[in-house]
Amino acid sequence: MNRKDALFIIEQTVKAPSGHNTQPWLFGIDENYIRIYPDISKCLPIVDPDNRELFVSLGCAVENFFWAAQKRGYNVTFDIRKDGEVFAILTCAKEKNDSVLEMFNQISVRQTNRKIYSGEKISSDIIGVLESVSWTDCVKVHLFPNRSDSFDLLKNYIVNGNTIQLRDKAFKNELKKWMRYNYKHAMETKDGLSYSVFGAPDLPRFVSELVMEICLNPLIQNRSDSKKIESSSHFALFTVSENDIINWIMLGCVLQRFLLKATQCGIACAFMNQPCEIAELSVTLRQNLFLSGYPVILLRVGYALPAAHSLRRPLSYFIKD
């Protein structure tokens, strides 16, 4: 494996989603493998105290790596360690698969779309495709249609989650730390939650900070989220059989495959993880939905116009030889 190929693969890998767009991954390049490991300095101790979402994000990156390596002409096998390090061993591929190009092409197109959706329902055929993306018994994908009892239950859990989180000063401070309030601020860091992904105008920072402070309250957030939820076709809930690092990484791989396949089908997705992030809500959600696994990630899905893409740090930031 030459370095040019390695850099190409990593450039595609880091386009994965991550909590608050923290981009919590690093890479080491060796002759026959690339080491993918978590950047714990980018953890979110309030919203993600167990680093569960951090390792899910790492799994999303691993899935991008899988498709990018094949696009570059390599077979890849992964050795996932209990501490969250992943060793990607690359060998030359004997033949190319046309489906690789289809999935690879979605990496740069995929985005978290926080807009209000069109309200159009996703067909049962596409729902079947999305439900079938999991390749492991450890990770389950559950899809709940709008107007169903389970959908309404999840909506109530999101409202409760917003109320709990936005009354927590520490949660709000952590969230504000990762907000990027205008173009200049976003370009200084190329990470975090940019004003553009929320559809906000490019205003002087002091104005944007004031507006955001006003909006970060349960009443306004729940009013906004309720409109977005009602415009969506389904909720997609991802569960794991065990709450440990390896399962979280595997869930991330399945999640990213779901997101890439959804992108290929023209489906928009946005994270609504509040019920999974708050321990007491997660426990009762599992009971009320009769889930065999533990809820980790919740998405709303539907149809929407494209949104702004989140920025990424320079590639050199992630490579630690």
Same domain (yes/no): 219, 286 = yes
Q: Assess if residue 119 is contained within a domain.
A: no
Same domain (yes/no): 149, 284 = yes
Domain of residue 94, CATH code:
3.40.109.30
∠ at Cα 109 (105, 112), nearest 5°?
Answer: 140
43 backbone dihedrals φ, ψ, rounded to 5°? -75, 165
Q: What share of the chain is helix, strand, coil (3-state, %, to 5)?
A: 45, 20, 35
129 neighbors 246 (Cβ within 8 angstroms)? no
Q: Assess if residue 179 is contained within a domain.
A: yes
Out of 76, 110, 144, a domain closes at 110
Q: Assess if residue 35 is contained within a domain.
A: yes
Domain of residue 270, CATH code:
3.40.109.10
Same domain (yes/no): 156, 194 = yes
* Residue 116 identity: I
With tokens 């009971």, the residue in question is 287
pLDDT at 305: 96
Out of 65, 86, 110, a domain closes at 110
pLDDT at 315: 96
pLDDT at 224: 96
pLDDT (tens digit, 0 to 9) for every residue of the chain, 321 residues total?
789 999 999 999 999 999 999 999 999 999 889 999 999 999 999 999 999 999 999 999 999 999 999 999 999 999 999 999 999 998 887 666 777 889 999 999 999 999 999 999 999 999 999 999 999 999 999 999 999 999 999 999 999 999 999 999 999 999 999 999 999 999 999 999 999 999 899 999 999 999 999 989 999 999 999 999 999 999 999 999 999 999 999 999 999 999 999 999 999 999 999 999 999 999 999 999 999 999 999 999 999 999 999 999 999 999 987
Same domain (yes/no): 141, 277 = yes
Same domain (yes/no): 80, 141 = no
**Residue 32 belongs to domain spanning:** 3-110
Sheet architecture: strand order including 234-240: 139-145, 234-240, 294-302, 268-271
pLDDT at 94: 66
Q: Assess if residue 264 is contained within a domain.
A: yes
Same domain (yes/no): 159, 208 = yes
Q: What is the DSSP letter of 295?
A: E
Non-local (6+) Cβ contacts of 5 within 8 A are 72, 73, 74
Out of 82, 110, 138, a domain closes at 110
Q: What is the DSSP letter of 192?
A: S
Q: How far apart are CA 76 and CA 68, in angstroms?
A: 10
Same domain (yes/no): 196, 274 = yes
